[in-house]
Amino acid sequence: MKNYDFAYHITNFLTVYLPRQRNASQNTILSYRDTFSNLLRFCQEERGITPEKIRFEKIDAKLIQDFMLWLESSQHASASTRNQRLAAIRSFFRYLQIEAPEHLLLATSILAIQKARKSKPVMKYLTHDQTQALFFCPDVNDWDERRDLALLYLLYDSAARVQEICDVTVGDLHLESPATVRLTGKGRKTRIVPLSATVAALLAQYISERGLDAPGKASLPLFANRQNKKLTRGGVSYILNKYVDRANEEKENSLPGDITPHCLRHSKSMHLLESGVNLIYIRDFLGHEDVKTTQVYAKANPELKREAILKAHADDSAPQLPAWQDNPGLMKFLKSLG
């Protein structure tokens, strides 16, 4: 098997290890597949090694480091994309340490490659007024735009990731009080998220209008395109940007021009925090593993910081100091210094 060792382990990693042992999502598997497709392309174009001739004996840490540089220079990959590709490669070589310990030294050297440093972007979120301005943009008299309105409201109210919204089926909704939606997130983990009564009523009307409440419709995607296929992440982004542009036409510079669906997730999280909801509850609401991930919202809001500081210094009264001009002893001491 030596002549096919790389091909064998890559195939097993993508088709067996990730989906069956790690329970990785389809999106994760596709992302990892793209990483190795790029690596094979790099080997062929830059090193003259065709895919069928790649062996572990031809791979070393220098090749992977050069691959990272190639992604940045030739493919114009950002630091985030580079690190994402490196994470996929690291995951593969961690797998290799167990499955093929004869390559332990190679795996160890590649796992030692450092991630690229990147500046942390400023978190973008909408204020309450900006969020409302966005919701007023869809035309409720238009068939497609009523779907878009339901989509935007659910995206915000559930603070779902965009892929989670794309994957929601009709059966994932429970619209009787208390209304909830079941979301399937990273690692195929599911969580139940509460919905407001307003959003539940809007979704119930949308489902009824589309005939999605008929028997046998529970497995259908909640939001579909004109080909009756579930919306893609790109499709959701397109819909959102359409109404961002419309909002800015009606009121100049009312919304940032580069809003993403994830911005609505940030917005809902920030609004919950501003309303005094405990970070622990917000963590569970968002599906975070660790509350440290959720703390980024507290750090990103300067107004919350200001209010916390003011509360810590609620009693601004200080003890009255004596007027030093009326202290003869102090005055005599100060004059003696001259």
Is 297 an annotated catalytic residue? yes
pLDDT score for 325:
56
List domains and CATH numbers for the chain. Answer: 2-111 (1.10.150), 128-310 (1.10.443.10)
Sort 46 into a burial class: Cβ within 10 Å, 0-12 / 13-18 / 19+: middle
Active-site hit among 9, 90, 146, 265:
265
Q: How far apart are CA 3 and CA 293, in angstroms?
A: 44
pLDDT score for 309:
41
pLDDT band, very low/low/confident/very high, at 274 (cuts 50, 70, 90): confident
Give the start-end residues of each E strand in the chain.
173-174, 180-184, 190-194
pLDDT score for 308:
46
Active-site hit among 182, 186, 230, 246:
186
Q: How far apart are CA 282 and CA 270, in angstroms?
A: 9
Strands 173-174 and 190-194: unpaired
Q: Tokens in use for 276?
A: 């005094």
3-class secondary structure, 224: strand
Is 182 an annotated catalytic residue? no
Is 90 an annotated catalytic residue? no
Active-site hit among 125, 156, 243, 297:
297
Active-site hit among 124, 174, 242, 262:
262
Lowest-confidence range among 234-238, 239-243, 265-269, 310-314?
A: 310-314
255 compared with 177, residue with greater pLDDT: 177
- pLDDT greater than 60 at residue 250: yes
- pLDDT greater than 60 at residue 110: yes
| pTM for the full predicted model | 0.63
Is 186 an annotated catalytic residue? yes
Is 41 an annotated catalytic residue? no
Query: What percent of the chain has pLDDT above 90?
Result: 53
Residues 6+ apart with CB under 8 A from 299: none
C-beta atoms surrounding 159 within 10 Å: 23
| pLDDT tens for each residue of 52-95 | 899 999 999 999 999 999 998 988 888 888 999 999 999 999 99
29 compared with 296, residue with greater pLDDT: 29
Active-site hit among 146, 161, 266, 268:
161
192 forms beta bridges with 182
